[in-house]
Amino acid sequence: MTGLPQILFEDNHLLIINKRPGEIVQGDKTGDAPLTDQLKLYLKEKYNKPGAVFLGLVHRLDRPVSGAVIFAKTSKALTRLTRMVKDREITKIYLAVVDHLPDPAEGTLVNYLIKNERQNKSYPAAEQTPGAKRAELTYKLIASGKTFHLLEIHLLTGRHHQIRAQLAIAGCHIKGDLKYGAARSNPDGSISLHARMLNFTHPVSRENVSIVAPFPANPEWQYFNDK
């Protein structure tokens, strides 16, 4: 994958990009080049910075997921945004293409999830299970096609693979997500989950920041783009 991802917002303190499926936000055991390195080089060249470039990651998206990701260009912004994430002061809206209609069409999912480190997968667990964490989201059906359906998801907690795991538990598997029960993979290895919108108060200027990340070019997103 080549080329800089689409920049959705940039000022002295923030850099928000539209991550493409397949890109990794931070370095991992694969050894593939992460977005943090690519974006540091972009900032170094754009602003002619002589030394090391500061770029703090505020939150993450799984490798096969696309959409808006926030980076902090200053330590002040990173400290404040990290606290805002913890205090749930950043609204995150996702869109997911799933294989079954949810019942009811709109509602709240609450589960306790436990992460299996070896498998890099989250499983449902009883509330009292050691290491289990409460996961909560709201969802709403917003469009349907012949085979797949589009859900809008408001993430209320930030657990490992939360949306993927909770929708699978509800019987609504995300298109292409073999790890969580999808029937087949997407041709490009992505899963049809997109971080569509972000809304928060700027950590320094205190102005409202509202971001909408355009869909990837994949056929399923283009199908629902007009719905």
**Residue 208, beta-bridge partner list:** 201
Query: Which CATH number is 176's domain given?
Result: 3.30.2350.10
Exposure of 59 by Cβ count < 10 A (0-12 exposed, 13-18 middle, 19+ buried)? middle
- Concerning whether 37 is annotated as a catalytic residue, the answer is no
Residue numbers of the domain that contains 69:
6-225
The reply to whether 147 falls in a domain is: yes
Q: pLDDT tens digit string along 146-176?
A: 899 999 999 999 899 999 999 999 999 999 9
Closest CA to 148 of 123, 167, 121, 161: 167
Residue tagged 């990340």 (tokens): 213
Total number of domains in the chain: 1
The reply to whether 204 falls in a domain is: yes
Q: pLDDT tens digit string along 58-104?
A: 998 999 999 999 999 999 999 999 999 999 999 999 999 999 999 99
Q: pLDDT tens digit string along 171-190?
A: 999 999 999 999 999 999 99
The reply to whether 26 falls in a domain is: yes
The pLDDT confidence band at residue 222, using thresholds 50, 70 and 90, is confident
d(CA 125, CA 121) in angstroms, rounded, equals 13
Closest CA to 20 of 71, 62, 72: 62
Task: Tell me which amino acid residue 119 is.
Answer: Q
Q: Could you say which of 62, 87, 99, 103 is catalytic?
A: 62
The reply to whether 1 falls in a domain is: no
